[in-house]
């Protein structure tokens, strides 16, 4: 039909106008092909080498607090995982007839209290629990101060680049007039942190910039790192301070750091300020600002946080979806929870992750193998000084 339309235009209005229309049509088609060639859906990143799920029989301990009066298994936690977990439940029921689930997914703040009091089989969590969220659990199950015990933490997916998702990788943005071409993690720490070992970076000239920015002060901005301020992303501050800004436990944010409530405010600030650099969730960035490439985890190439780089583990400011598991000292691992987590970490489970409408990205084979190894070693939880970090809780925050 579109060919017929072009023919009529040629006959009615002459060759020039017809050529214009043909050019537009071809341009649109080329544009569509270009988009298709560079963009890929999360399902395209499911690793073919992931293990297929081989169900094992499991018996539910009906004395557990998360088992409801009607026999259903209650799951409490992160609301952004509601779609994928509903589909996971269907897959589990298909291979384990008779099981049923009750979902109470209302937000990150609910997961740790629920596993603390055995009100949830496990705690779905976006981006890792904060110190404040973990404190009650550690007070009850942490043992002595010399031998604190943490929940078992399993990665289940990478963060999402979809604007619908609540958890995304973090990135650095600057004004479109800013000529900076790349940053290292050390430089990011120097700009955003206070007292870093490599020295604070306060002027654009320290990064080699000349011209209009020479000698001008850097204006770092992002969300408040204080959970009591109730920023849009409660976990951003601890993620940067305790895991990314220098060696663990890292460095605090600089007094020069301008704190916002929402990522949209950060984008607007950077859009209007040539001296600003913003720390934002990558799924909140628009064309009004420029994303700065970061040297990747291998220190060999630059990345702006593409889906391919995230799944491959190359992007340094990626984040994860986690499952937190209640682990009182000396208690045997819950066989139902172990079987469910085996399913999530299988090829079928990661396909469910990738097909979910929120766009969370699947784990690669190496990450899955690491998490499965945790499960195999978790028959009985040992003291943390043997099995995990030796740093006392609650400060600094433990690494998931």
Strand partners, 336: none
Angle formed at CA 75 by CA 71 and CA 79, multiple of 5 degrees: 145
Asked if residue 231 lies in contact with residue 260, where contact means CB atoms within 8 angstroms, the answer is: yes
Q: Please give the Cα distance from 128 to 243 (Å, whole number).
A: 11
pLDDT of 383 = 56
Could you tell me if residue 321 is left (phi over 0), alpha (psi between -120 and 50 degrees) or otherwise beta?
beta
Q: Please give the Cα distance from 77 to 154 (Å, whole number).
A: 14
Q: Please give the Cα distance from 323 to 266 (Å, whole number).
A: 30
Asked if residue 139 lies in contact with residue 113, where contact means CB atoms within 8 angstroms, the answer is: no
Asked if residue 181 lies in contact with residue 293, where contact means CB atoms within 8 angstroms, the answer is: yes
Q: Please give the Cα distance from 210 to 201 (Å, whole number).
A: 15
Quick one: tokens of 227?
Answer: 């959970």
Q: Please give the Cα distance from 53 to 33 (Å, whole number).
A: 36
Quick one: tokens of 291?
Answer: 């994303």
pLDDT of 382 = 59
Q: Residue 268 burial by CB count (10 A; 0-12/13-18/19+): exposed, middle or buried?
A: middle
DSSP string over 324-390: EE---TTPBPPHHHHHHHHHHTSHHHHHHHHHSTT-EEPPPHHHHHHHHHHHHT-SBPPPHHHHS--
Dihedrals phi, psi of 88, to nearest 5 degrees = -60, -40
Q: How many helices (H) and strands (E) would you count in the chain?
A: 13, 13
- The model's pTM is 0.85
Per-residue pLDDT 10s for the chain (400 aa) are 333 333 333 333 333 333 333 333 333 333 333 333 345 788 999 999 999 999 999 999 999 999 999 999 999 999 999 999 999 999 999 999 999 999 999 999 999 999 999 999 999 999 988 888 888 888 887 754 544 457 889 999 999 999 999 999 999 999 999 999 999 999 999 999 988 766 789 999 999 999 999 889 999 999 999 878 899 999 999 999 988 997 767 789 999 999 999 999 999 999 999 999 999 999 999 999 999 999 998 888 999 999 999 999 999 999 999 999 998 877 788 999 999 999 999 999 999 999 999 999 999 999 999 999 999 888 766 555 444 444 444 444 445 6
pLDDT of 250 = 79
Q: How many other CB atoms are there within 10 angstroms of residue 365's CB atom?
A: 14
């Amino acid at each position: 039909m579109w060919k017929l339309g072009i023919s009529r235009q040629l006959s009615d209005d002459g060759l020039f106008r017809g050529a214009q229309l043909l050019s537009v049509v071809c341009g649109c088609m080329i544009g569509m092909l270009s988009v298709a060639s560079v963009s890929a859906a999360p399902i395209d990143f499911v690793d073919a080498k992931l293990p297929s799920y081989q169900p094992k029989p499991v018996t539910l301990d009906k004395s557990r607090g998360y088992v409801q009066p009607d026999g259903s298994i209650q799951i409490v936690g992160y609301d952004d995982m509601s779609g994928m977990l509903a589909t996971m439940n269907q897959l589990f029921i298909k291979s384990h007839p008779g099981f049923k689930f009750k979902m109470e997914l209302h937000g990150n703040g609910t997961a740790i209290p629920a596993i603390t009091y055995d009100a949830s089989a496990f705690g779905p969590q976006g981006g890792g629990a904060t110190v404040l969220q973990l404190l009650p659990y550690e007070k009850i199950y942490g043992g002595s101060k010399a031998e604190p015990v943490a929940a078992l933490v399993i990665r289940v997916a990478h963060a999402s680049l979809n604007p619908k998702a609540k958890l995304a990788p973090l990135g650095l943005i600057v004004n479109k007039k800013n000529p900076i071409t790349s940053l290292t993690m050390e430089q990011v720490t120097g700009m955003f942190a206070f007292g870093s070992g490599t020295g604070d970076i306060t002027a654009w000239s320290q990064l080699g910039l000349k011209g209009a920015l020479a000698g001008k002060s850097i204006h770092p901005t992002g969300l408040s790192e204080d959970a009591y301020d109730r920023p849009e992303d409660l976990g951003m501050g601890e993620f940067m301070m305790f895991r990314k800004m220098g060696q663990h436990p890292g460095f605090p944010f600089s007094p020069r750091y301008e704190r916002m409530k929402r990522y949209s405010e950060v984008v607007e600030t950077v859009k209007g300020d040539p001296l600003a650099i913003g720390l934002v969730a990558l799924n909140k960035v628009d064309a009004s600002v420029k994303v700065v490439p970061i040297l990747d985890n291998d220190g060999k190439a630059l990345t702006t946080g593409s889906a391919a780089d995230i799944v491959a583990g190359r992007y340094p400011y990626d984040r994860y979806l986690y499952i937190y598991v209640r682990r009182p000292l000396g208690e045997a691992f819950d066989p139902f929870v172990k079987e469910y987590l085996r399913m999530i970490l299988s090829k079928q489970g990661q396909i469910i992750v990738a097909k979910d409408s929120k766009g969370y990205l699947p784990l690669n084979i190496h990450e899955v193998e690491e998490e499965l190894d945790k499960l195999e070693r978790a028959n009985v939880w040992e003291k943390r000084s043997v099995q995990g970090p030796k740093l006392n809780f609650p400060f600094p925050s433990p690494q998931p």
